Structure 1
C-alpha cells in the first residue's frame, strides 16, 4: 500500500490516488508542532517538508514529481495524456504551472498573511509573490475561456495541480477569484475522487470550514 506523508500539497497526491483507484493511506505530519521528533517521517524525508510517499522500496518527495511517478508506474491513465495526444502540451504546461507558477508563489503570501507579525503582513516580498500568482493565473483564465478543463475537454492531473493552488489562494490568502475560475473549481471539486480525498484529509476539511471563500 502507498503511504502518503502529510496533507498540504499531499492532497494532490491523495486526490490522484483516489482518481486512479490505488490503495493508499495518509500518515499525518504536524509541521506546526515541528518534525524534529518525528523520526519515521524524517527517515522518509530528512528535509522535513511534505508531502512524501513510501511505495514499497521507493520514497519520493515533491507533489508534482510524485504524481508523475504514480501515473507512469501505475498507468497508463487518462489523467496523463500521451505525448502524441494533442492535449499533451497544455496538460504538461498546466501540471507544472499549478506548482511552479501558482502554489509556490501564493505559499509565501499565505505565510505572510497568516504567520508574520502584523507589521510584516503586507511586506514587499509578499506583494511580489502575489503579483507573480496573478500573472500566472491569467494563463489559467485564458485557457478556461476556451475549454472546460486545462488540457481540453477532459479532466487530467493538470486540473488536480491547479485546483489545489487556486483553493490555497482562496482559503489561505483571501484571494478573490473570477466567476470563470470559481465555476472551474466547482466542476473539479464535484468529482467523487475529490470528495473522497477531502474525507481522508480531515485537517484540510476543517481548515476550509474555518476559512470561507471570499
Structure 2
C-alpha cells in the first residue's frame, strides 16, 4: 500500500494518485504540533518536512520527485506525455516550475509576512522572492494565452503542480490572480479527482474554506 505522509504539498501527490486511480492511505503529519514529537515520521524523513511517500521499500520526499516516481512506476498515463510527444517540453517545464519557480518563492513571501517581526515583513529577501514568483507567473500567463493547460490542450500532472502553487499563493500569500489564472484554476479544480483529493485531505479542505471566508 502506498502511504502519503502529510498534506501541504502532499496534496499534489494525493491528487495525482486520485487521477491515476491508485490505492493509497494518507497519514497526517502535524507540523504545528511539532514534528519533533512525531518520531515515526522523523524515521521516514529526518529532515522533518512534508510530504513523504512510502511504497514498499521505496521512500521519497519532495512532491515533484514523488509525482515523477509514481508516473514512472505505475504509468504510462496520459497525465505525462511521452518524451517524443510535442507536448513533453512544456509538460516537463511546468511540472518543475510549479514548485521551483512558484511555490518555493511564494513560501518565503508567506513566512516573512506571517512569522517575521512587523518591521521585517517586507524585507529584501521577501521582496526578491515575490519578484521571482511574479516573473515565473508570467510564463504561466503566456502559456494560458496559447492553450488551456500547461502542456497544451490536455490536462497533465504539470497542471497539478502549477494549480497547487497558484492556490497556495492565493490562500496563504493573499496574492490576487488575474482573470485567466482564476479561470485556469476553475478548470483544474473542477475535476473529480481534485474533489476526491480534497475530501481525503481534510486539513487542506478546511484551510481552503477558511481562506475563502477571509
Structure 1 match to 2:198: 198
- Structure 1 residues 139 and 49, CA gap change in structure 2 (3 angstroms): same
Distance 2:178 2:213 in 1: 12
Distance apart, 1:213 and its partner CA: 8.1
In the TM superposition, 1:136-151 aligns within 5 A as: 136-151=136-151
Pairs aligned (count): 214
After the TM superposition, which residues 10-159 of structure 1 pair with which residues of structure 2 at under 5 Å, given as runs?
10-159=10-159
Does the 8 Å contact 1:170/1:213 carry over to 2? no
Question: Shift in Å at residue 150 of structure 1?
Answer: 0.5
For residues 49-100 of structure 1, the C-alpha deviation after alignment (integer angstroms, 9 at most, x for no partner) is 1000010111000000000000000000000100000000000000000010
Measure the CA separation in 1 of the matches of 2:81 and 2:141: 21
**For structure 1, which runs of at least 5 residues remain unmatched after alignment?**
none
TM score, norm. by length of structure 1: 0.98
Q: Aligned partners of 2:12, 2:107: CA distance in 1, in Å?
A: 15
Q: Distance in 2 between matches of 1:12 and 1:119?
A: 34
Aligned partners of 1:2 and 1:25 also within 8 Å: yes
Q: TM-score, normalised by structure 2?
A: 0.98
Cross-structure match for 1:166: 166
- Residue 9 of structure 2 is matched in structure 1 by 9
User: Distance in 1 between the 2:12 and 2:170 partners?
Assistant: 16
**Structure 2 CA distance for aligned equivalents of residues 186 and 35 of structure 1:** 34
Shift of residue 209, structure 1, vs aligned partner: 1.4
